[in-house]
Amino acid sequence: MNISEILLLGPVMPVIVIDDADLAVPLGEALLSGGINAIEVTLRTDAALNSIERLAKELPEICVGAGTILTEINAHSATNAGARFAVSPGTTHLIINACKAHNLPLLPGASTVSEMLTLHEAGFTAIKFFPAAAAGGAQFIKSLASPLPHLQFCPTGGITYNTASSWLALANVPCVGGSWLAPAHDINQQNFSMITERAKQASTLKRP
């Protein structure tokens, strides 16, 4: 699947920070049973790569991506772990080239119009808008629909269940990202039924 197809798997992509790889599959099952089909596991913890590996092997029904890709090594390790896509908070040539070299679809991060234009020149049509709330909010992305009609955005950063709808109402936002469904403390405490409930709520948010 390419990034545009992945962004259509559901209106919300959970952003996961996981500390214990033993909890990766139970977490994936909890999200899947709540209707979530794609997740971003951030490479911010020692358990992240092992978690991606277990999810890719043991729960292939869920499309697992690696987030917080900052370096070539991150792209290489994510590919080896079985990530099906990569997400970066901002984007450099090194990140783009490393993902290309591994045939790893990249959702590249950007927060300014010039960065977005540079990504479009590099062939990208789907972009992570990060940090979404702090960098301008839904009004910012709404303002881009007319001058940048070829671009789609996955806003992430500071989005909650209560604010997700205002983003999803925009024609250029197929999906939002957020950690609210499965925050690290709920994963650590194995509050999986609560995570499933939030996943159900999130996965039934409506797009226009």
- Which of 40, 72, 121, 200 is catalytic? The answer is 40
Supply the minimum distance, in Å, between the C-beta of residue 40 and ligand 3PG: 8
Q: Is 100 one of the annotated active-site residues of the chain?
A: no
Stretch that binds ligand 3PG, among 55-63, 99-107, 145-153, 155-163 (CB under 6 A): 155-163
DSSP secondary structure of the chain = --HHHHHTS-SEEEEE--S-GGGHHHHHHHHHHTT--EEEEETTSTTHHHHHHHHHHH-TTSEEEEE---SHHHHHHHHHHT-SEEE-SS--HHHHHHHHHTT--EE-EE-SHHHHHHHHHTT--EEEETTTTTTTHHHHHHHHTTT-TT-EEEEBSS--HHHHHHHHTSTT-S-EEESSSS-HHHHHTT-HHHHHHHHHHHHTPPP-
Subset of 96-135 contacting ligand 3PG (CB under 6 A): 130
Subset of 43-82 contacting ligand 3PG (CB under 6 A): none
Which of 74, 79, 163, 179: binder of ligand 3PG (CB under 6 A)?
Answer: 179
Is 158 one of the binding residues for ligand 3PG (CB under 6 A)? yes
Taking CB atoms, the residue at the shortest distance from ligand 3PG is 179
Is 15 one of the binding residues for ligand 3PG (CB under 6 A)? yes
Provide the binding-site residues for ligand 3PG, judged by CB under 6 A.
15, 130, 156-159, 177-180
Active-site residues, by number, are 40, 128
